[in-house]
Amino acid sequence: MDVTQQQLAPLAPFTWSDAAYLAPEWILIAFTIALAVIDLAMPRSVSRTVIGWLTLGGLLTSLGFVVWRLIDMNSKVPALDANGQPVSGAIRLLADSYRIDDFGSILKIVFLVATALIVLMSLGTVKRDEIPNKGEFYYLLLPAVVGAMIMASSGDLITLFVGLELLSITTYVLVGMRKHAVKSSEAAFKYVVTGGISTALILFGMSYLYGITGATNLGAVAQGVQQHAADFAALLYVAFFFILAGLGIKIAAAPFHAWAPDVYQGAPTPITAFLAVVSKGAAFAVIFRIVFNVAFYASTPDKPIADDIFLTLLIMAAAAMIIGSTAALKQYNVKRLMALSGIANAGYLLVPVGVSLKGMHASNFGEFAFYLAAYLLMNVGAFAVFSVVSKAAGHEEVSSFAGLYFRAPWTACAMIVFVLSLAGLPVTGGFFGKLFILLGAAQSKAYWIVAVMVASSVISYYFYFRVIRQMFMRSTGEEKDVQVPATTGIAIWLCAILTVALGIVPGPVMDWVNGHFSILGDLFIR
């Protein structure tokens, strides 16, 4: 079946059994609608904390269904094709525009866990005087996560764009939740403008792919690219570079990173954590889908398009690591510091995509998923500690951590774990996450990117250890006691314990991801 026939094939009817596969998404949508009605019906004098707990319940229920589906799919004996090779066990819905596979399920687990931890930390730190509409703050996180989940499972450019816009529009509102704060309004405006530019770039690149192939399904687009790459090589370069530029803005990778420090600083702290983990991870899911499904097959004997795309990704990764690490050296605002750290980490996360499958290297997604999980824990944990420390100090500078060990020793110990993980030092998940990526790049013989990774990690020690130095050596005796709410404390210690666990037993986690995920079965769409 050629591309044209595949596009004109009749769509299979959407049945109730198909709808059941989307239970995690339906649950979050149902909770959003129900919580919006409850919020409107509740008197203004009643605390909206109950909406936060119900939001957490919706996230955990959806997470349970994702985990159950992942276990169920991998418990079945895979079918074999005529050549005796395993057939993809992915569940294809709506003509393969939406896929339930291990790639999407693993990323959905990351998104749901991250959002649940963010809600948990928010229950104790977000106050009505800071965010007037606390109910909206909680339940608007749910459609944002749905957008991220759609992006992870999309097998079609249109479906992918729907998820991208759902995530983007919801986060625009969340960033501007502190209506009376000038910085929050400024951050929301900048985020809307840069988000609009990102959307325009992505759509422009997608339009070229559609014009060349006449298809929107990623599998059909890949076939069309293979057929027409020799005739439209220049247009393919334009398409891929525009898409990468648009997604580069979403992940805050250099040179598309300028918006991140201002938006991170102006947004409420829990939303800053959400942007740093969930929004960034969803954009990476799209990069994986497009690069390995479409760009991977774009080369011709005369035009090494795929090699150029992968090289571009590595150059973006190197630029992000160098610019993020060096710019953070003179940064003393914690949120802006974490934004610059996130830029550098976007570079680390780009490396497994950019090294492709060279040198028999096939554990790209395993390396990416492991580091994304470690990045989730250390970022959410660090932001949770910062949320209580900044409230006690009354400002957001690094000096807010002054004497933290003497005021709240256990909280300081947890922060040390997060800082060590961010710096990539043993025994933490961040250390092995960077190590796996570094070894994968070395296996692919991309030694120059290995050197950049090592150099940027060494540079990062200076500004990460500035926080530790403040906690132990800068006590003046005038700082206020740090009050850690129970829910925020639970979030902090869950992140700290899991960060150390990833550093102690990284092998089983990596083996579990690689054992469930298959590049041919879960990532390539055919």
Q: pLDDT of 392-438, one tens digit each? A: 888 888 888 888 888 888 999 999 999 999 999 988 999 999 999 99
At residue 333, the 3 state secondary structure works out as strand
CA quadruple 401, 493, 48, 279: dihedral sign: positive
Q: Are 407 and 522 in contact (CB under 8 A)?
A: no
Dist CA 186 CA 491 (whole Å): 29
- Scan for tokens 């250099």, then name that residue: 254
Confidence class for position 134, pLDDT limits 50, 70, 90: confident
DSSP state of 251: T
What contacts 210, CB < 8 A, 6 or more positions away? Answer: 157, 216, 221
What contacts 398, CB < 8 A, 6 or more positions away? Answer: 332, 333, 334, 337, 466, 467, 470
- Predicted pLDDT at 9: 46
Q: Work out the percent of the chain whose per-residue pLDDT is above 90.
A: 53
- Predicted pLDDT at 340: 94
In this predicted structure, the answer to whether residue 517 has a pLDDT above a threshold of 90 is no
Residue 99's beta-bridge partner residues? 92
Dist CA 496 CA 184 (whole Å): 29
What contacts 249, CB < 8 A, 6 or more positions away? Answer: 194, 195, 197, 198, 201, 256, 259
Which of 303-309's residues contact partners 24+ apart within 8 Å by CB, and which partners? Answer: 303/229, 303/230, 303/233, 305/229, 305/233, 305/236, 305/237, 305/240, 306/356, 308/237, 309/240, 309/244
Dist CA 66 CA 163 (whole Å): 18
- 484-515 in b/e form (b: 16+ CB < 10 A) is bbebbbbbbbbbbebbbebbeebeebbeebbe
- Predicted pLDDT at 13: 66
Beta carbons within 10 angstroms of residue 472's beta carbon: 15
Mean per-residue pLDDT, 458-482: 81
Cα–Cα distances in Å, from 178 out to 134, 136, 138, 432, 501?
Answer: 10, 12, 13, 37, 36
**In 10-125, which ranges are E strands?**
91-93, 98-100
Please give the torsion angle defined by the CA atoms of residues 380, 384, 387 and 393, in that order, rounded to the nearest 10 degrees.
Answer: -120
Dist CA 300 CA 295 (whole Å): 12
Confidence class for position 475, pLDDT limits 50, 70, 90: low
Q: What is the CA radius of gyration of the chain?
A: 23
Beta strand 98-100 pairing with 91-93: antiparallel
Cβ neighbourhood burial of 97 (10 Å; 0-12, 13-18, 19+): buried
pLDDT tens sequence across 216-244? 888 889 888 888 888 888 899 999 999 99
pLDDT tens sequence across 56-94? 999 999 999 999 988 888 776 555 444 444 455 788 888
Q: Count the residues in the chain.
A: 526
Dist CA 511 CA 27 (whole Å): 30
> What is the H or E stretch that residue 387 is in?
helix 364-393
Dist CA 403 CA 477 (whole Å): 8
Cα–Cα distances in Å, from 160 out to 111, 192, 289, 444?
Answer: 16, 19, 10, 30
- Predicted pLDDT at 379: 95
Q: Are 51 and 135 in contact (CB under 8 A)?
A: yes
- Predicted pLDDT at 11: 56
Confidence class for position 342, pLDDT limits 50, 70, 90: very high
pLDDT tens sequence across 288-310? 989 888 887 777 777 788 888 99
